[in-house]
Amino acid sequence: MHIETAAVSSGRPPAQPDQPLNVPPTFASTYTAGGALEYGRFGNPTWSAFEEALGALEGGDCRVFASGLAAIAAVLDQVPVGGTVVALAHCYLGTQTQLAHAEERGAFHHVLVDALDVPALHSAVRTADMVIIESPTNPALEVVDIAAVVEVARSVGVVVVVDNTFATPILQRPLELGADIVVHSATKFISGHSDVVMGAALTRDADRLAALTTFRSIQGATPGPMEVFLALRGLRTLALRVERAQANAGELVRLLTGHPGLIEVRYPGFGAIISVVLPDADAADAFVAGVRLCRHATSLGGVETTLERRRRWSGEVKTIPEGLVRMSIGIEHVDDIAADILQALG
Ligand SMILES: *Cc1c(COP(=O)(O)O)cnc(C)c1O
């Protein structure tokens, strides 16, 4: 089955008379005793429907979480005490914060490596317990050869985790490339409408899946049924949205490359995220304040075009330029996005 079809057809009730086409949101804190669910922190039919659907897209078994960072916390819980995690210097800020907290409380160590320094990355992986890759990175948009990291990691038994939030399974399926675990902020492209905070983790390994499930149950990192219902509704159109947003992004990159107001246009060649670099913070702030159709907002992956100067966050990594504006391109008509961006740059 093609992935576009799986996005539409997976996670549905059986095709039987009077079955609804969609699994409804099940609002239940508890279930009549004696079954597989028992209590609302352990399981929910709406979660199962979403897990079946995203699992079909990524090619693994899925567990939903309360947020992307809850999913990442569940994954990091699999690092042995005193172990080492390798992450990218430009990985998601929340991931870096979790790694720093784990280090502070003596749980495990972490090493940050430049995504583009392939020899350094591969040699760091050789001495780690787990490596977390984001590709493309947020917001530097560096790309990592996942299969190459998997090859190095496999030879020394290191767990490979890929945060696939930016690429989505439409454009990149890390489990097929040999990764052990995939994590998502379903808040972004998967749900796609800027109305849900949710996460997911996926694996093909039964023991790792069991550990994710246990973490969710005992730490209570559970999403509400309405969030999961909305995320599954959003996932139905993931392929269409990614296709259109990516086409828009490609056209905007062509249009913006060489624009006199921009020092750099960064685009990895796929996906819907573009980072543009303006001369300084003031120029970037004026740009994001000047848009009318697009919205100045953090987060990304919605149907609407949003943009943000990342260094407005004091915690953002200092090697991200002050004038860098990350743009999440939506599915509006590209001419309208282009006109707005050009007037704001002007
Ligand atoms: C947003 C994001 C996260 C965190 O997800 P939340 O749903 O906000 O907790 C993790 N990784 C990446 C790449 C993200 O963009």
Q: Is any atom of ligand 1 closer than 6 Å to the C-beta of 132?
A: no
Q: How many angstroms is it from 197 CA to the middle of ligand 1?
A: 9
Q: Is any atom of ligand 1 closer than 6 Å to the C-beta of 203?
A: no
Evaluate whether 85 touches 131 at the Cβ level (below 8 Å): yes
Evaluate whether 242 touches 272 at the Cβ level (below 8 Å): yes
pLDDT tens-digit profile of 61-99? 999 999 999 999 999 999 999 999 999 999 999 999 999
Q: Is any atom of ligand 1 closer than 6 Å to the C-beta of 199?
A: yes
| Enzyme catalytic residues | 41, 92, 163, 188
Mutate to test the pocket of ligand 1, among 92, 98, 137 (most ligand atoms within 8 A of CB): 92
pLDDT at 315 over 90: no
pLDDT at 14 over 90: yes
User: What is the mean pLDDT of the segment spanning 285-314?
Assistant: 96
In this structure, the number of other CB atoms found within 10 A of the CB of residue 97 comes to 12
Closest CA to 94 of 196, 222, 187: 187
Q: How many angstroms is it from 200 CA to the middle of ligand 1?
A: 10
User: What pLDDT, on a 0 to 100 scale, did the predictor assign at position 67?
Assistant: 98
Cα(321)–Cα(311) distance, integer angstroms? 7
Q: How many angstroms is it from 69 CA to the middle of ligand 1?
A: 6
